[in-house]
């Protein structure tokens, strides 16, 4: 690892830490340490980081804002990459919104509404990065990224920087080709429409009020844990099964929103995973439906 760190520093990547605890970087506040964390500040540094890690066969993981993410208790072997501040930008060109991969998806929605642009209202409650949203086809309120994305700039796993269209990303429900084609979203271009500022603001306010009323946002949680099965909602199935308040260790199915699991009392990743399995088993037994996790689980168990 020392040779890798030396080469990274020679490539200009100076923000490097070893044995970095991951819990502070996730919404669940759970997770063991990563062997190393690096923070490239430019696309060139990012590409060189990938090349160096690949050359030494060091596994790497790209970390966004830590929503929809569960890091295992033993942490992450290899290197965790966080995009630096140079990737947190946005600019508006008529109906196009160009944003860096590390930019806040919620903030992007707010800024677009102030520009009188409609189409991103659904993002006002999705607490991830632009890159993460593009990666997983994030969505809410009947819309998702696939409906507004024009193209994305992606650094592939071999260090090559390419531009991928919406069609090339092969979007499906909470899925893109990037789940099987390793890559890092460095920039996204969204194509919106001009609308009435008052109507856009009203929609954002309505979504915000609903979130505050129905979701345990003041507690450590990672958003919706399971995908919605076709024709129904995971929260509805879990609530009807009487699982609200079910606990394993410090993890609890929220009594406010059944598809949220909260870190109620120093929960471990194993607590969360065991609780997820109990919920899945109950729904499978009672409804014959296999719930699919929406959260990404990474690291060594």
What positions carry a catalytic annotation? 174, 224, 294
Radius of gyration of the chain (CA): 20
- Gap between the Cα atoms of 91 and 248, Å rounded: 45
Compute the C-alpha angle 138/141/146, nearest 5°: 40
**Parallel, antiparallel, or unpaired: how do β-strands 33-38 and 76-82 relate?**
parallel
Beta pairing class for 69-71 and 296-298: parallel
Beta sheet of 90-93, edge-to-edge order: 90-93, 96-100, 183-191, 149-156, 161-165
Tell me the CA distances in angstroms from 203 to 37, 84, 112, 118, 123, one per residue in order. Answer: 39, 32, 13, 10, 11
φ/ψ bin of 71: left (φ > 0), alpha (ψ from -120 to 50), beta (otherwise): beta
């Amino acid at each position: 690892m020392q040779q890798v760190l030396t080469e990274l520093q020679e490539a200009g990547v100076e923000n490097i830490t070893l044995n970095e605890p991951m819990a502070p970087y996730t919404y669940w506040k759970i997770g063991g340490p990563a062997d190393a964390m690096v923070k490239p500040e430019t696309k060139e540094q990012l590409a060189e980081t990938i090349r160096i890690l690949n050359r030494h066969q060091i596994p790497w993981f790209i970390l966004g804002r830590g929503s929809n993410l569960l890091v295992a208790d033993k942490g992450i072997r290899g290197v965790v990459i966080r995009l630096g501040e140079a990737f947190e930008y946005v600019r508006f060109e008529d109906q196009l919104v160009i944003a860096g991969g590390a930019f806040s998806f919620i903030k992007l929605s707010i800024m677009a509404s102030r520009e009188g642009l409609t189409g991103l209202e659904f993002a006002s409650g999705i607490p991830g990065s632009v890159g993460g949203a593009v990666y997983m086809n994030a969505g809410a309120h009947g819309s998702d990224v696939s409906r507004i994305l024009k193209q994305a700039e992606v650094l592939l796993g071999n260090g090559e920087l390419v531009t991928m269209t919406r069609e090339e990303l092969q979007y499906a429900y909470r899925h893109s080709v990037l789940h099987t084609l390793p890559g890092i979203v460095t920039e996204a271009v969204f194509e919106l429409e001009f609308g009435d500022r008052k109507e856009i603001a009203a929609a954002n306010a309505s979504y915000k009020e609903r979130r505050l009323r129905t979701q345990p946002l003041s507690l450590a949680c990672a958003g919706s844990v399971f995908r919605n099965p076709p024709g129904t909602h995971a929260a509805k199935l879990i609530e009807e099964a009487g699982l609200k308040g079910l606990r394993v260790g410090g993890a609890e199915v929220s009594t406010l929103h059944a598809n949220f699991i909260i870190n109620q009392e120093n929960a471990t990743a194993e607590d969360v995973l065991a609780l997820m399995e109990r919920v899945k088993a109950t729904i499978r037994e009672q409804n014959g439906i296999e719930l699919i996790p929406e959260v990404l689980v990474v690291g060594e168990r």
